[in-house]
Amino acid sequence: MIERLLEHLVKGIAHYPQDISVATRQGDGSRSDTVNVYINAADAGRIIGHGGKGVKSLQTVINAAAHGRHAPYIKIIQK
């Protein structure tokens, strides 16, 4: 569910939504899961935002959607 929500949000921001893909990497017992968001390099500035505000906003939405469970960490990876 979290992955689909994140993919939907990022595709709405991106100029190249066809290049967006999302994959979850399970954390060990002491770490949260990581959601890797693969983006076109041309979209990096739009998605990360000035000073990281864009990705921080995405993390806030994901934290709220997690409903108190451990929310995954978002990692943006340029293709």
Q: Which CATH number do you get for residue 19?
A: 3.30.300.20
Give the three-class secondary structure for 73.
strand
pLDDT per position as a tens digit, 8-34? 999 999 999 999 999 998 877 666 889
What DSSP assignment string belongs to 7-66? HHHHHHH-S-GGG-EEEEE---TTS--EEEEEE-GGGHHHHH-GGGHHHHHHHHHHHHHT
* Proportion of the chain above pLDDT 70, given as a percent: 96
33 or 39, which is more confident? 39
Instruction: Give the pLDDT of residue 32.
Output: 80
Please give the distance of CA 77 from its chain centroid, rounded to a whole number. Answer: 9
List the domain range (segments joined by +) for residue 29: 2-78
Instruction: Give the pLDDT of residue 30.
Output: 62
Number of domains in the chain: 1
Instruction: Give the pLDDT of residue 27.
Output: 77
pLDDT at 39 over 90: yes
